[in-house]
Chain A
Amino acid sequence: MEDDRIDLPQGTLDLLILRTLALGPQHGWAISERIQQVSREVLQVPQGSLYPALHRLERRGWITAEWGISDNNRRAKYYALTKKGRNQLATEAQSWRKLIAAVALVMDMK
């Protein structure tokens, strides 16, 4: 397979996780799958970093975890966005858009 595993900056992975969870509670594997699908296979979530990131976000209180039953009837840990996490997502999304727009301006200059 072509090595698409670009090391995402930490903040970016956090942002992507929060955004994915905004659609509803998910377990870790589904989060990484969803990011991959939505980004049309461009973004590969670095598997080794996913879980440390989830645990870090949980510790900060942006997401909560709860054990549930997965679609194939297995015990899985589901993460959900907290109110604090939602606020955080809003702030981070806004600054992300600002950054993108700014970078675009610079890249498009003549």
Chain B
Amino acid sequence: MLRDLLHRLRAVFRRTSVERDLDDELRFHVERQTEKYVRTGLTPVEAARRVRLEFGGLDQVKERCRDARGVGLWEGAARNLRYACRALVKRPGFAGVVILTLALGIGGNSAVFSAINAVLLRPLAFPEADQLMLLEQYEPKTANPATFVASLRLADWQRMNGTFQAITGYYPDEISETSGELPERIAAAWVGPRFFQVWGVIPALGRIFTPEEERFGGPGVVVISERFWARRFGSDPNVLGRPLRVGQQWYPIVGVMPASFLFPLRDVDVWRPSPLDAPYAQDRRSTWFTVVGRLKPGITATQAQADLDRIQAELGAKYPATDAALAVRVRPLKDVIVGGVGRSLWLLFAAVSLLLLIACTNVAALLLARTADRQQEISIRYSLGASRASIIRQLLTEALVLAALGSLVGLLVAAGALRMFHVLAGSLPRIAELRLDWTLVAYSLSCAAGATLLFGLLPAVRHTSRQTGESLAHRSRSGIPATYRLHWLLVGVQITLAVPLLFGAGLLLRSFDALGRVSPGFEFDRVLTFRITGNWGETTDIEALARRIDLTLDALRSLPGIGAAATSLAAPGVPFQRQTEFRILEGEATPDQRIAASTRVVSEGYFGTVRIPVVAGEACPREPAAPAAVVNRRFAELYVPGATPIGRHVEHVPTNPFLAAGRIVGVVADAREDGLNREPPAIVYWCQSAPVPAPLFLVRTRAEPMAMADTIRRKLQELEPRRSMYEVMPLDERLSDTLAENRLRTALLSAFALTAVTLAAVGLYGTLSYLVSMRRREIGVRLAMGARRHDIATALLRQGILVSLTGCLVGLWLAAALGRAVSGMLYAISPLDVPTFAGVLLLMTGTAVLSSLWPAVRAARVDPMRVLREE
């Protein structure tokens, strides 16, 4: 192996001396052989002739020697490259079309790949991010969702585990900071001990919390974000020690976190310790932490899971009332953050890969036609002693140059596409991490290399067979291959590949359309939504909090131009929580039946504001004396069949100390509360206006909702000057945000499908035009012999349509097989949707007719006299 390499290297670097040696060696042989024949009595001329006959062409032998040494591959590369560039410059039109086609294919592919890389493949932007895990507590026996974790349980997990370097927790909050001239709303995060250690991020300035500060009663301090530092303190380096005033307390700043640290929320400005040993945290049922841990090096998620399973089992034995029913789930944080976007991205990646294949097929057809044009040149090179391998190498070099240029232009396309992603997909996870980098460049270059083999090899192999070379003598100058089967095949393949794309895009479009037409069961236009700052400290006096919210609601209702106002824990139609389990206190308990329903917490006036009709009983009353609830019709039908649920009591399972059993006061109509694309679930609406300090306010306006924002802001300023209003947006915008991923993938897939169809049409047109120009002579002769122009045009047209139809049918079969891949993303549309099938068939046939028409007309216009004269 090494000797081989040295040999080749010597051949490359000392090329002239190697060539001279070869010349000398062969000349020596020829001379000796000639002398030998002269000795046997031949004249020197005859002897030389005989040696030449025996030897064959000297150049051919030399070429074979070079091949045998393996020189050609290296030294030929530079020469091939020069030839290739020269050949392409001579045909700028051809080169331009090929490069553009490849740029579309490679660019699109690279852009989607970089999205996959940024979102799915690359680790999160923390040191050793693979070690970061989300720890959730849930109840395996019921359908209860993962809930927040109690401080005590977090402390137990921390103390008892052997697989984590550290476990911490956090919860977001909003505070009004009042040390400045005007109160400012600040997004804050309360964090458990060792929070920053878990992330492995060090502050840009100052320090993180000390263990004393993380204990109850320790010194109260805060760490601020770089953004807040810049905004509020003008990035003053002496900010450390300066106090922030929150509520009645002053807290000195001890550190500034770098701008890249955006956890747990993008807009967190202040981090404060939340001690686990605080008196208010000593109830195992008081849960508020979201828990994150960092694994020890070398520990897998499975091992950590086993560890926590064991710990929770021990805790269950020790605290049967609160912990026995709980289990722990350990999931990589990245999976949690990325969520379901992966499926969409892989779908798009499959789509652009099809597109790239189509582009390659297209280019293969173009190259095939071009190589056929160069038959003459190839034959001459054969007779000069070139080996087949060397000719194939040269043709492949040309293809490689095209592909490299294509991938360079493709990178520009990709860069543009990335910018578009940022705009269109701003709400998708991790999209901010998307950028043009070396991985992308390397990827698109390897795309180019793969593409070269795909589209370059076919014409190279096909047009360099020995017979082609040797038959040079027997051919006329205009000699052309008799069949064009391969050309037609390539056209068919392009159409076949374009069809599944078109079909997929059609399905998504129809599904999106169906989604737009669905009746959600509530009215979301002309509703303004917003929040008003509040902080968790207010929850110590729930009644005061409820009074404040109710007063605000009254003030809102008094405004002209406002029809109704209410609060809700979450926006209607936006997925909020998984279902939880309930128990109905009255009636016979059926042990087998589990009552699962979605939970919503709404204030008086909610149903009127979003116009969900009350079917029986009454809507939520104003601050009920005893807990009250409203259920929807589906809940009533499923769980209290044949009776009225009104007057019965529902209760969470397991019982929640903060949510006592509530009396059902009414039944409302079904609404798609958990997402427009889901059937209305069974729902329990708890009647409570202030479940959290900053619930979502919903206001029905008579005019354009945003036009009311200012009036409302002024009214609130009048009412409570210290609070600010934020997240102001119309309800329909919130709903539309939940469909962002859906919309993006539909738009992108449609764009890819359109490109694919265009490429296929160009391919069909190009191939037909090429055939017509190649067969001009034949057509001319046929016309001269009396064929009708009409027949010639129809024959071509028919062939074009036939090939397209065949490709289309195979493509549809393929599409039907692939339809399952998108079935999970469809709403109310079957993956075998007949109208979509028909539409695709119609569109492809129409495209085929259009692209065949002009070449067919040109064929019919051939002037027999001119063609025959050209001969």
Partner of B28, one of A47, A58, A76: A76
What is the 8 Å Cβ interface bit string for chain B, positions 439-475, against chain A (1 contact, 0 not)? 0000000000000000000000000000000000000
**Known contacts A59-B4, A59-B69, A59-B70: A27-B28 contact under CB 8 Å:** yes
Inter-chain residue pair count (beta carbon < 8 A): 65
> Are A52 and B33 interface neighbours, CB within 8 A?
no
- Please give, as numbers and ranges, the residues of chain B lying within 8 Å of A5 by CB-CB distance: 54
> Are B26 and A51 interface neighbours, CB within 8 A?
yes
- Please give, as numbers and ranges, the residues of chain A lying within 8 Å of B866 by CB-CB distance: none
**Known contacts A52-B65, A56-B68: A28-B29 contact under CB 8 Å:** yes
**A72 vs chain B, min Cβ distance (A):** 8
Of chain A, the residue at the smallest CB distance from B58 is: A48
B726 at the interface (CB under 8 A from A): no
Q: Which of A1-52 contact B (CB under 8 A)?
A: 1, 5, 27-29, 33, 47-52
> Are B68 and A59 interface neighbours, CB within 8 A?
yes
Partner of B7, one of A47, A59, A67, A77: A59
C-alpha spacing A70/B28, complex, angstroms = 10
**Known contacts A59-B70, A77-B21: A48-B65 contact under CB 8 Å:** no
- Please give, as numbers and ranges, the residues of chain A lying within 8 Å of B69 by CB-CB distance: 55-56, 58-59
- Please give, as numbers and ranges, the residues of chain B lying within 8 Å of A76 by CB-CB distance: 25, 28
Of chain A, the residue at the smallest CB distance from B21 is: A77
> Are B55 and A75 interface neighbours, CB within 8 A?
no
C-alpha spacing A27/B68, complex, angstroms = 18
C-alpha spacing A53/B64, complex, angstroms = 9
- Please give, as numbers and ranges, the residues of chain B lying within 8 Å of A97 by CB-CB distance: none
C-alpha spacing A1/B33, complex, angstroms = 15
> Are A75 and B24 interface neighbours, CB within 8 A?
yes
- Please give, as numbers and ranges, the residues of chain B lying within 8 Å of A74 by CB-CB distance: 28, 31
B32 at the interface (CB under 8 A from A): yes
C-alpha spacing A3/B25, complex, angstroms = 26
> Are B54 and A47 interface neighbours, CB within 8 A?
yes
- Please give, as numbers and ranges, the residues of chain B lying within 8 Å of A58 by CB-CB distance: 7, 69
- Please give, as numbers and ranges, the residues of chain A lying within 8 Å of B4 by CB-CB distance: 59-61
> Are A53 and B55 interface neighbours, CB within 8 A?
no
Interface of A is mostly: helix
C-alpha spacing A55/B54, complex, angstroms = 19
Of chain A, the residue at the smallest CB distance from B60 is: A48
- Please give, as numbers and ranges, the residues of chain A lying within 8 Å of B70 by CB-CB distance: 59
- Please give, as numbers and ranges, the residues of chain A lying within 8 Å of B64 by CB-CB distance: 48-49, 51-52
What is the 8 Å Cβ interface bit string for chain B, positions 28-71, against chain A (1 contact, 0 not)? 11011100100000000000001100111000110011011110
C-alpha spacing A58/B65, complex, angstroms = 11
C-alpha spacing A43/B770, complex, angstroms = 53
**A64 vs chain B, min Cβ distance (A):** 10
B3 at the interface (CB under 8 A from A): yes
- Please give, as numbers and ranges, the residues of chain B lying within 8 Å of A75 by CB-CB distance: 24, 28
Of chain A, the residue at the smallest CB distance from B26 is: A51
C-alpha spacing A52/B33, complex, angstroms = 18
C-alpha spacing A29/B28, complex, angstroms = 8
Residue count of chain A within 8 Å CB distance of chain B: 25
**B28 vs chain A, min Cβ distance (A):** 5
C-alpha spacing A47/B58, complex, angstroms = 11
C-alpha spacing A70/B31, complex, angstroms = 13
**B375 vs chain A, min Cβ distance (A):** 26
> Are A29 and B68 interface neighbours, CB within 8 A?
no
- Please give, as numbers and ranges, the residues of chain A lying within 8 Å of B55 by CB-CB distance: 47-48
C-alpha spacing A61/B3, complex, angstroms = 7
Of chain B, the residue at the smallest CB distance from A31 is: B29
> Are A51 and B7 interface neighbours, CB within 8 A?
no
C-alpha spacing A33/B35, complex, angstroms = 13
- Please give, as numbers and ranges, the residues of chain B lying within 8 Å of A60 by CB-CB distance: 4
What is the 8 Å Cβ interface bit string for chain B, positions 816-844, against chain A (1 contact, 0 not)? 00000000000000000000000000000
Partner of A47, one of B24, B31, B56: B56
> Are A29 and B29 interface neighbours, CB within 8 A?
yes
Of chain B, the residue at the smallest CB distance from A53 is: B68
C-alpha spacing A59/B68, complex, angstroms = 8
**Known contacts A52-B68, A55-B68: A28-B25 contact under CB 8 Å:** yes
- Please give, as numbers and ranges, the residues of chain A lying within 8 Å of B32 by CB-CB distance: 29
**Known contacts A29-B32, A47-B54, A52-B61: A77-B24 contact under CB 8 Å:** yes
- Please give, as numbers and ranges, the residues of chain A lying within 8 Å of B24 by CB-CB distance: 75, 77
- Please give, as numbers and ranges, the residues of chain A lying within 8 Å of B26 by CB-CB distance: 51
- Please give, as numbers and ranges, the residues of chain B lying within 8 Å of A61 by CB-CB distance: 3-4
> Are B33 and A29 interface neighbours, CB within 8 A?
yes
Of chain A, the residue at the smallest CB distance from B36 is: A33
Chain B CB within 10 Å — which of A56, A59, A70, A76 has the most? A59
C-alpha spacing A75/B65, complex, angstroms = 20
Of chain B, the residue at the smallest CB distance from A75 is: B24
C-alpha spacing A28/B33, complex, angstroms = 11
- Please give, as numbers and ranges, the residues of chain B lying within 8 Å of A33 by CB-CB distance: 36
C-alpha spacing A67/B4, complex, angstroms = 20
C-alpha spacing A48/B56, complex, angstroms = 6
**B383 vs chain A, min Cβ distance (A):** 15
C-alpha spacing A60/B7, complex, angstroms = 10
- Please give, as numbers and ranges, the residues of chain A lying within 8 Å of B3 by CB-CB distance: 61
C-alpha spacing A28/B24, complex, angstroms = 12
**B34 vs chain A, min Cβ distance (A):** 11
- Please give, as numbers and ranges, the residues of chain A lying within 8 Å of B61 by CB-CB distance: 48, 51-52
C-alpha spacing A28/B28, complex, angstroms = 9
C-alpha spacing A48/B25, complex, angstroms = 13
Of chain A, the residue at the smallest CB distance from B29 is: A29
Q: Which of B1-39 contact A (CB under 8 A)?
A: 3-4, 7, 21, 24-26, 28-29, 31-33, 36
Of chain A, the residue at the smallest CB distance from B2 is: A61
Chain A CB within 10 Å — which of B25, B26, B67, B70 has the most? B25
**A97 vs chain B, min Cβ distance (A):** 27
- Please give, as numbers and ranges, the residues of chain B lying within 8 Å of A50 by CB-CB distance: 29
- Please give, as numbers and ranges, the residues of chain A lying within 8 Å of B51 by CB-CB distance: 47
C-alpha spacing A61/B1, complex, angstroms = 10
Chain A CB within 10 Å — which of B29, B54, B65 has the most? B29
- Please give, as numbers and ranges, the residues of chain A lying within 8 Å of B7 by CB-CB distance: 58-59
- Please give, as numbers and ranges, the residues of chain A lying within 8 Å of B29 by CB-CB distance: 27-29, 47, 50-51
Partner of B65, one of A1, A51, A70: A51
**A107 vs chain B, min Cβ distance (A):** 31
> Are A55 and B28 interface neighbours, CB within 8 A?
no
Of chain A, the residue at the smallest CB distance from B70 is: A59
**A86 vs chain B, min Cβ distance (A):** 16
C-alpha spacing A28/B61, complex, angstroms = 14
Of chain B, the residue at the smallest CB distance from A50 is: B29
Of chain A, the residue at the smallest CB distance from B54 is: A47
- Please give, as numbers and ranges, the residues of chain A lying within 8 Å of B56 by CB-CB distance: 47-48
**A102 vs chain B, min Cβ distance (A):** 30
- Please give, as numbers and ranges, the residues of chain B lying within 8 Å of A29 by CB-CB distance: 28-29, 32-33
What is the 8 Å Cβ interface bit string for chain B, positions 50-94, against chain A (1 contact, 0 not)? 110011100011001101111000000000000000000000000
Q: Which of B476-510 contact A (CB under 8 A)?
A: none
C-alpha spacing A33/B279, complex, angstroms = 107
**B354 vs chain A, min Cβ distance (A):** 44
C-alpha spacing A46/B701, complex, angstroms = 99
C-alpha spacing A4/B4, complex, angstroms = 35
**A10 vs chain B, min Cβ distance (A):** 11
**A74 vs chain B, min Cβ distance (A):** 6
What is the 8 Å Cβ interface bit string for chain A, positions 59-82, against chain B (1 contact, 0 not)? 111000001001000111100000
What is the 8 Å Cβ interface bit string for chain B, positions 303-331, against chain A (1 contact, 0 not)? 00000000000000000000000000000
| 11 CB < 8 A contacts A-B | A27-B28, A28-B25, A28-B28, A28-B29, A48-B56, A51-B29, A51-B64, A55-B68, A59-B7, A75-B28, A77-B25
Given contact pairs A27-B28, A48-B61, enumerate 10 new A-B contacts (beta carbons under 8 Å).
A27-B29, A28-B28, A28-B29, A47-B29, A47-B54, A47-B55, A52-B64, A56-B68, A59-B69, A77-B24
Residues of A within 8 A of B (CB): 1, 5, 27-29, 33, 47-53, 55-56, 58-61, 67, 70, 74-77
Considering the complex of A and B, which 10 residue pairs feature the smallest CB-CB distances, nearest first?
A: A48-B56, A52-B64, A56-B68, A55-B68, A52-B68, A29-B32, A47-B54, A29-B29, A47-B55, A77-B25
